[in-house]
Amino acid sequence: MTHSAISDIGTFSMHHDPVDRDLYPFFAELRSQAGPVWSPRHKSWLVAHHPTVRDALGHADLSVEKMDPFIATLAGDTRAKLDRINDVLQHWVVFNDPPNHTRIRRALQQVFMPKQLRQFESDVRRIVEEMFADLDGRTEFDFIEAFALGLPARLVCQLFGVPIEDADAMSRWGHGISRFVMGGSDDQRYDDTLADLKQMRSYFSDLMAEYRTSDDDSTLLRRLVGAAGTEDGLTYDEIIATLVLILFAGLDTTANALGNMVLTLSSRPDVVDAVRADPGIAPAVIEDVLRFDTPAPMVTRVAKADLELGGVRIAAGDRLILLLASANRDEAVFDSAGEVRADRPASPHLAFGRGIHFCLGAPLARMELRVVLLALVDRLPRWTVRTEGLVWRDELLVRGLTALPVVVDATEGSA
């Protein structure tokens, strides 16, 4: 195996300073290399160029089934804890290759079909308006706490048939699991994840028992429970695991995307004004914001066989980190890659991945971002962000803030 060299690659950690977690200069340095770069620090190939990341996302010999190889490197109490966590994670569609992936994804696609989401959009608008109404008269608020965490939780509860009064618990559990799944570095993450999973499994088992006797097919959970055990259905363990996954991914990642959007646009009033003048460009602006500051900046794969990628030989068993955020700033693909443009042509960004693992929830996330952006420019004519002291979350696979103080210009209007 030939490992390319780059300055400081052996010591640089992408678990960067949470107060100044700007990895984009490092990504640019990686893109100055000819192909994937080996990182002894992360024990992985770092894949940074857009064409190579795009190809890797669709490569049949790159697997998402990475939990078992990881657990095999552990021993003792740590391994025992990971085995118990994997009792749930092994059923996640994002950790399964075909044919299991195909079967699980087919069962879930029904809820994310465009027709289903169009019917759901009026509920999204109503909830967003209610949340903005709660901010009436306030000239400063934490967008993450007041909005970004709560909105996805309420929407997922409504979509899946979870009681709305349990939204706060859903958000707390989803964030806790993220500490492990997304690469947190604190020593308590395994124990915390086990505790959260135990509570979630108990909660969803009880909820599924209620839905087994229900005739209401309007929620995804009832439809999944009704199809359990059939040829096209999931097992009860798979349903519970899927609910855990959607809570973690649908809440956590969307919350980060919402926060990143508000932070990015707070320093670009020209883009905000363009959306206010022509709301029809909101979807294009959202796509460029997702490209510019990707909430899930990287994903991992494991090579199932020897292969070549970007001109570099990769050995079977090697781990790869596909840097989606780097690919989305690749100057060879995107003009003015470091800027957000309201007029950017259709973008081949990779914020939602590509291929068979393209994010199932992408249509819902796009709808949430669009509804929030349009409500934001309508309800808050002018706003700024207190950027001093912003703290980024330290999970490796996350790009999101712990808090985002928004200041409303009272002379222009208020929430």
Domains annotated on the chain, with CATH = 24-408 (1.10.630.10)
Q: Are 51 and 21 a contacting pair, CB within 8 Å?
A: no
CA proximity to 330, closest of 347, 313, 311: 347
Token reading at 45: 């190939």
How far apart are alpha carbons 341 and 334 in whole angstroms?
11
3-state SS of the chain is: CCCCCCCCCCCCCCCCCCCCCCCHHHHHHHHCCCCCEEECCCCEEEECCHHHHHHHHCCCCEECCCHHHHHHCCCHHHHHHHHHHHHHHCCCHHHCCCCHHHHHHHHHHHHHCHHHHHHHHHHHHHHHHHHHHCCCCCCEEEHHHHHHCHHHHHHHHHHHCCCHHHHHHHHHHHHHHHHHHCCCCCCCHHHHHHHHHHHHHHHHHHHHHHHCCCCCCCCHHHHHHHHCCCCCCCCHHHHHHHHHHHHHHHHHHHHHHHHHHHHHHHCCHHHHHHHHHCHHHHHHHHHHHHHHCCCCCCEEEEECCCEEECCEEECCCCEEEECHHHHCCCCCCCCCCCCCCCCCCCCCCCCCCCHHHCCCCHHHHHHHHHHHHHHHHHHCCCEEECCCCCCECCCCCCCCECCCEEEECCCCCCC
Q: Examine residue 99 and say whether the peptide bond preceding it is cis (omega within 30 degrees of 0).
A: yes
The half-sphere exposure of 340 on its side-chain side, counting CA atoms within 13 A, is 29
How far apart are alpha carbons 218 and 226 in whole angstroms?
12
CA of 228: how far to CAs of 133, 212, 232, 235, in Å? 40, 10, 8, 5
pLDDT of residue 410: 66
Question: Looking at this protein, which amino acid is placed at residue 382?
Answer: R
- Taking 50 as the pLDDT cut, the residues of the chain under it are 1-6, 413-415
pLDDT of residue 309: 97
How far apart are alpha carbons 59 and 137 in whole angstroms?
52
pLDDT of residue 215: 75
> pTM for this structure?
0.91
Q: Are 349 and 257 a contacting pair, CB within 8 Å?
A: no
pLDDT of residue 412: 54
Handedness of CA 30, 31, 33, 38 (dihedral sign): positive
Token reading at 264: 């990015």
**What torsion do the CA atoms of 123, 127, 132, 136 make, to the nearest 10 degrees?**
110
Long-range contacts of 308-311 (CB under 8 A, 24+ apart): 309/35, 309/36, 309/45, 309/47, 309/52, 309/55, 309/56, 309/59, 310/34, 310/35, 310/36, 310/47, 310/49, 310/51, 310/52, 310/55, 311/34, 311/35
